[in-house]
Amino acid sequence: MKPSVTPPSASDSDLQLVERTNAGDQRAFELLVIKYQRRIERLIARMVRDTDQVQDIAQETFIRAYRALHQFRGEAQFYTWLYRIAVNTAKKALLDMKRNPVVTDSALRNQSDEDETSAPGQELTTDETPETVLAAQEIAQAVNAAMQALPEELRQAVTLREIEGLSYEEIAAAMECPIGTVRSRIFRAREAISARVKPLLENQTGKRW
């Protein structure tokens, strides 16, 4: 099966967080910010030249999303909705600066939100430096190495969840085990992989994780 960037049931989590935010719990929105910040930054970095603008536009994107969150009906993926806000915010910022939008080839090729993050383009975005590219490669290698080191049942569970996008029920049926076991296996797999990634992030960011 072809892996998708956004797991099919990710919207359940997003919708839960959106509803919670609309009910007045701002902590739920902060989880959405953390979840999508990297994708939004990457998207914006493909559109603007000014590195300093990326953070401001990303921030403005999330503020606009928060203000309009009550209009989100869950009929589309949350990221699709957020993607449009980010693009519009970036365009407006560029117009405000009286500049023409600089859209890279890869961004032009990937107008769809699903494909946006899996662009094969190798060119550096605004925010990317050789150091950040190297850091990203290290993280990817650490994740892959951690996956290979996982016990078979943990690797299978997290693969079915994260890459194939199956629900816990479907994974339980596929692996012939209770749903509680699926939940536990996925959690343990995430913890094991995170343990390998943490030291890298500490080195890269200079703060304790």
Partner 1 sequence: MKQDLNQSQKEQLSALADGQLAAGDIGAALAFADSDEGRQTWQLYQLVGDVLRSPELAHHAQHDVLSGVRAQLAREPRPQLQPMALQAITAAQGVDRAANGSVFRWKVAAGVASVAAVAALGWSSMLGSGSAPAGIELVQNGAPQQSVPTEIVAMQSGPGAPVMLRDPRLDELLAAHRQYSSVAALQMPANFLRNAGFSDTSVRH
Which 54-73 positions form the footprint of partner 1 (CB under 8 A)?
Answer: 54-55, 58-59, 62-63, 66-67, 73
Residue 25 binds partner 1 (CB under 8 A): yes
Which 35-54 positions form the footprint of partner 1 (CB under 8 A)?
Answer: 35, 37-39, 41-42, 54
Which 124-143 positions form the footprint of partner 1 (CB under 8 A)?
Answer: 127, 132, 135-137, 139-140, 143
When binding is defined by CB under 8 A, the residue of 48, 90, 160, 186 that contacts partner 1 is: 186
Q: Cα 39 to the chain's mean position, in Å?
A: 5
Torsion of CA 191, 196, 198, 203, to 10 degrees: 180
Residue 145 binds partner 1 (CB under 8 A): no
Which 166-185 positions form the footprint of partner 1 (CB under 8 A)?
Answer: 167-168, 183-184
Residue type, 183: R
- Helix axis angle for 10-22 and 26-45, nearest 10°, is 120
Residue 113 binds partner 1 (CB under 8 A): no
When binding is defined by CB under 8 A, the residue of 174, 175, 177, 201 that contacts partner 1 is: 201
Look at residues 80, 87, 9 and name the one whose alpha carbon lies nearest to residue 48. Answer: 87
- CA 173 to CA 160: how far, in whole Å? 11
